[in-house]
Amino acid sequence: MTSLAFDHLVHFSSDPSLAKNTMLQHGIQAIEGGKHENWGTYNTLAYFGMGYIEWLGIQDPSVSIQVDDNPLIQQLVTELPLGDHPGRIALRTNNMDQLAVDLKEKGLKLHGPVKGSRLTESGELLQWSMLFIAEEQPTLPLPFFIQWGEDDAIRREKLKVHSSHPAGSLQIKDVLLAVEDLDDKISRWSSLFDLQVGEAFINEKWGAKCQRLYLPHGSLLFCTPVEDGIVKDYLHAFGERPFGLQLENGRQNQSILLQGGIYEITKE
């Protein structure tokens, strides 16, 4: 299987600028991203090395509602009226052509690649390609895949300026996903993407049983409720979806509840 790494969490947001300002108050540097003219959307971003959070909002509904070639934008248009919440994750590849072959060999139907681009605030044109797995009404949307238009080493150097946070030398430890059937999701995702499985454990704070799939730049932590708590509440509100991130190497412990998601910082 072509090697994969966590790239970013897409957080559907009615006000990405408010999300950015809230994170700044907690010592997390967040920036204006830019506009996606062809999709009628815009974003704000918080980088942690190569991985990041994208708060994705609708700027021109008349454009967004007509998008028919990008499943992420279609999901955003459908789900944002339910309330702000994390909606999907992206995994990074450096060889999308080979990845497509690998996924098809596993019996999956694909949509794409879909080309993307936007202008940064400095006027630089960013370009990328996205690949989606075509699914019929999934309970938990499978990741989409992204390949950036420049080498990882170049991107890493460019992103350093955005990865300096007053809250600490923050890195993504876990991407949090709320699920109904933990065993089923762990089995399916580990098989599809050839990921190593960790030991299951109880998170008493969340009232959930959790288990990891290991990925560079941010492992996937699946959680299912065993009692009342944030995971049960999130499932009730939004169904099986990502529900936030755990960040490590902070100066102090923080738990940031923001627009339907949770961003936890643990002390270094």
Using one digit for the tens of pLDDT, what is the confidence trace for 207-228? Answer: 999 999 999 999 999 999 999 9
pLDDT band, very low/low/confident/very high, at 158 (cuts 50, 70, 90): confident
Residue 266 phi/psi, 5° resolution? -105, 145
- Residue 182 identity: L
CB 110 within 8 A of CB 26: no
Do 170 and 152 belong to one domain? no
Q: What is the mean pLDDT of the chain?
A: 94
The answer, yes or no, to whether residue 263 has pLDDT greater than 90, is yes
DSSP string of 36-76?
A: ETTTTEEEEEEEETTEEEEEEEES-HHHHTT--S-HHHHHH
Q: 151 or 148: which carries more pLDDT confidence?
A: 148
d(CA 185, CA 2): 21
**% pLDDT > 90, the chain:** 84
Is-contact 170 215, C-beta < 8 A? no
Over residues 61-75, the pLDDT tens digits come to 999 999 999 999 999
Q: How many Å apart are CA 52 and CA 35, to the nearest integer? A: 17
For residues 76 and 12, the answer to whether their CB atoms sit within 8 Å is yes
| Full DSSP string of 92-104 | E-S-HHHHHHHHH
Q: What is the DSSP letter of 126?
A: E
Picking from 133, 161, 189, the residue at the C-terminal end of a domain is 161
Cβ(264)–Cβ(245) under 8 Å? yes
Domain boundary among 116, 132, 161: 161
pLDDT value at 161 more than 90: no
Tokens describing residue 144: 């989409």
**Position 233 confidence tier, pLDDT thresholds 50, 70, 90:** very high
Q: What single-letter amino acid sits at 70?
A: N
Could you list the residue range(s) of the whole structural domain that residue 55 is in? 5-161
Same-domain pairing of 174 and 152: no
Pair 45, 78 in one domain: yes
pLDDT at 160: 86
User: In terms of residues, how long is the chain?
Assistant: 268
pTM exceeds 0.75 for this model? yes
Q: How many domains does the chain have?
A: 2
Please name every residue paired with 210 in a beta bridge, in sequence order, or none if there are none: 201, 223
Q: Look at strands 219-225 and 208-213 and give their pairing.
A: antiparallel
For 82-114, the pLDDT digits (tens) are 999 999 999 999 999 999 999 999 999 999 899
Tokens at 87, concatenated: 């909606």
Statement to judge: residues 176 and 148 lie in one domain: no
